[in-house]
Amino acid sequence: MIGKLNHVAIVVPDLAAASAIYRDTLGGDVSEPVNLREHGVTTVFVNLPNTKIELLHPFGDDSPIAKFLENNPSGGMHHVCYEVDDILAARDKLKADGARVLGDGDPKIGAHGKPVLFLHPKDFCGTLVELEQV
Domain ranges for the chain: 5-133
Mean pLDDT of 4-19: 98
Cβ atoms of residues 9 and 78 within 8 Å: yes
Cα distance between the two ends of the chain = 12
Residue range 5-133, CATH number: 3.10.180.10
Q: What is the 3-state secondary structure (H, E, C) of 24-37?
A: HHCCCEECCCEEEH
Count CB neighbours of 44 within 10 A: 23
CA nearest to 16, candidates 55, 51, 62: 55
Catalytic residue, from 32, 54, 130, 132: name it: 130
pLDDT in tens, 28-86: 999 999 999 989 999 999 999 999 999 999 998 889 999 999 999 999 999 999 999 99
Q: What is the mean pLDDT of the chain?
A: 96
Residue 106 pLDDT grade (very low, low, confident, very high; cuts 50, 70, 90): very high
Give the Cα separation of 132 and 134 in Å (integer).
Answer: 6
Q: How far apart are CA 48 and CA 29, in angstroms?
A: 7
DSSP string, 11-23: E-S-HHHHHHIII
54 is catalytic: no
Residue 126 falls in which region: left (phi positive, over 0), alpha (psi -120 to 50) or beta: left
